[in-house]
A and B are shown apart, each in its own frame.
Chain A
């Protein structure tokens, strides 16, 4: 039986800066996870992924990451994606201080 589709966001790294970005519903790339489009339909996810992958001059390494609806917007579920929203744990560098 195919696995049930779980909600996703589309994420990548920015081509020039290399930092983590997310695709919004209005086709922007945002640095904030909570502004990402939370995709709940698998077919829609595939289309959005194709669209995102076309943007080769803006982003690198596009993929779908699990997320859930939170109070202010989508929240990551896996610890790797949580780390990507804030930066390393050994220094106050990256999104945790830049956003």
Chain B
């Protein structure tokens, strides 16, 4: 876990002091909203539908228990007792008052957290694989590099007023759990002849023009990473479009200017910037940061307690089957805590639940927690002998839902229940889908299925890469939901295909049920997942089921 040094602490204190003064000047009238807005956005403060919203970064999704407790304190003291974990490894508070925000930021700084660059046309919170440092399939822990990028990009003077926001994600494993192909830059740690380096993807993104990232460089050695990324962002910063905000992201540059041309420009720029890094300070810093991310000392102990509970307790078994993932250390597991209890708001946790998770992390999980872009919380290092006790404690806190990767483990953006940009609601759609399949008792039979819901075209809910994606729109003053099928956010990233006309608010849950029933009817056996079946049969059977009247007309 990265620990702030004097410089980090002073920087944050200074920045919070500046923002406190800016808030005061806004309140006393010496700053207009036009002047204040970019300042508050730089510090993660939005004005939403019903209130202000503070977006706090959880860099590369990593927290310790003290930080999680502090997030609980903020929820309780300055909000309505809960927080919302987002698809970008942030936490959002939906009800802060303007006057309280500087105090909230100071409280965050006490545990080394902040809201800097969680908004605005800057390099945003760098996200990473939520199993980083624990996954069995990992080449290297991506978090030290993510931390290096955070330090490099924070207040980077060249990158404060860019054409648009810029998002970077990094994975250290070949199984991409960080959706790197849907980011402005996606980094994948790879090994070549014993050397660790980075495959650089560029121009991915969802939103109104969804694009899958393309490989800009196959292998960038560690010593070249910062100058190479700096060159890439710099080229876009200069030639990226500023005339139209919808065409400003780097994906449009890649599309219009061409990958080859961009690569050439980046290479030229890289040659100019590389000498500036000649001292190797960035490499030395990376080594220093790595020391903060040394894995805990894993225990060697029998796992009988786990085996016994697994054999005897069907509820524990069901949870273990869905919520545990393979750990790189013997006797350990990665435990995902679902924030998707059927009927609840995806990604929300109460202050009490946050404290329970913090306690469990310190008691059983080497004091580590992770937040996933899928809006769940992870205890990355739990020895298997503790899992029965962990599960029992989670049950008491309403946190033992056994549904990771299943139909009710839905990503949903805040939608029009909170967001000022939204065109329709997302949360109640997610709640109703989860509840419906819970009632039908179909969830486990259906198996792995990712539903992702966005309440507007900006696609915070990642609907394009959902196996079933749902996009809420405003059609002539009525909420309307479009469906896409076959999207995939992994290393084989694919943008989903639209089924056809959208569905009304009271039809959308039924439409999802139709899709799932169609899948169950056509799958070869219980082992063929929804995505596999979709890839085999294509969209037509689902279309016919969704739009029977169209079939009749065509006949």
Given the known interface contacts A15-B98, A18-B98, A79-B479, the answer about A87 and B50 at a Cβ–Cβ threshold of 8 Å is yes
With an 8 A cutoff between CB atoms, is A5 at the interface? no
Main secondary structure of the interface of A (DSSP, over half): loop
Please determine whether B50 and A15 come into contact, CB atoms closer than 8 angstroms: no
Please determine whether B27 and A84 come into contact, CB atoms closer than 8 angstroms: no
Please determine whether B47 and A88 come into contact, CB atoms closer than 8 angstroms: no
Cα–Cα, bound, A61→B52 (Å):
12
With an 8 A cutoff between CB atoms, is B80 at the interface? yes
With an 8 A cutoff between CB atoms, is B418 at the interface? yes
Choose from A16, A17, A84, A90 the contact partner of B49 (Cβ within 8 Å): A84
Please determine whether B99 and A57 come into contact, CB atoms closer than 8 angstroms: no
Q: Which of B114-122, B275-283, B424-432, B518-526 lines the interface with chain A?
A: B424-432
Given the known interface contacts A18-B52, A57-B29, the answer about A88 and B418 at a Cβ–Cβ threshold of 8 Å is yes
Chain A residues with Cβ below 8 Å from B99 are 16
Chain B residues with Cβ below 8 Å from A20 are 49-50
Please determine whether B428 and A90 come into contact, CB atoms closer than 8 angstroms: yes
Please determine whether B478 and A79 come into contact, CB atoms closer than 8 angstroms: yes
Please determine whether A84 and B32 come into contact, CB atoms closer than 8 angstroms: no
Smallest Cβ-Cβ distance to A77: which chain B residue: B477
Please determine whether A83 and B417 come into contact, CB atoms closer than 8 angstroms: yes
Chain B residues with Cβ below 8 Å from A79 are 416, 474, 477-479
Please determine whether B47 and A61 come into contact, CB atoms closer than 8 angstroms: yes
With an 8 A cutoff between CB atoms, is B33 at the interface? yes
Please determine whether A19 and B477 come into contact, CB atoms closer than 8 angstroms: no
Cα–Cα, bound, A1→B427 (Å):
40
Given the known interface contacts A56-B29, A80-B416, the answer about A89 and B427 at a Cβ–Cβ threshold of 8 Å is yes
Please determine whether A89 and B425 come into contact, CB atoms closer than 8 angstroms: yes
Chain B residues with Cβ below 8 Å from A56 are 29, 32-33
Query: How many residues in B have their beta carbons less than 8 Å from beta carbons of A?
Result: 31
Contact pattern, B 88-115, Cβ under 8 Å of A = 1, otherwise 0: 0000001111110000000000000000
Given the known interface contacts A60-B33, A61-B47, the answer about A17 and B477 at a Cβ–Cβ threshold of 8 Å is no
With an 8 A cutoff between CB atoms, is A13 at the interface? yes
Please determine whether A90 and B50 come into contact, CB atoms closer than 8 angstroms: no
With an 8 A cutoff between CB atoms, is B345 at the interface? yes
Cα–Cα, bound, A16→B478 (Å):
32
With an 8 A cutoff between CB atoms, is A94 at the interface? yes
With an 8 A cutoff between CB atoms, is B51 at the interface? yes
Choose from B27, B416, B477 the contact partner of A15 (Cβ within 8 Å): B27
Chain A residues with Cβ below 8 Å from B425 are 83, 89
With an 8 A cutoff between CB atoms, is A78 at the interface? yes
Cα–Cα, bound, A89→B425 (Å):
9
The CB with the most chain A CB atoms within 10 A, among B26, B49, B99, B345, is that of B49
Docked complex: B439-483 residues within 8 A CB-CB of A: 474, 477-479
Cα–Cα, bound, A56→B49 (Å):
18
CB distance from B90 to the nearest CB of A (A): 19
Contact pattern, B 251-270, Cβ under 8 Å of A = 1, otherwise 0: 00000000000000000000
4 A-B pairs with least C-beta separation: A88-B417, A18-B52, A18-B51, A57-B29
21 contacting pairs across A/B (C-beta < 8 A): A15-B98, A17-B98, A18-B51, A18-B52, A18-B96, A19-B51, A20-B49, A20-B50, A56-B33, A57-B29, A79-B474, A83-B417, A83-B425, A84-B50, A88-B50, A89-B427, A89-B428, A90-B427, A91-B80, A91-B345, A94-B50
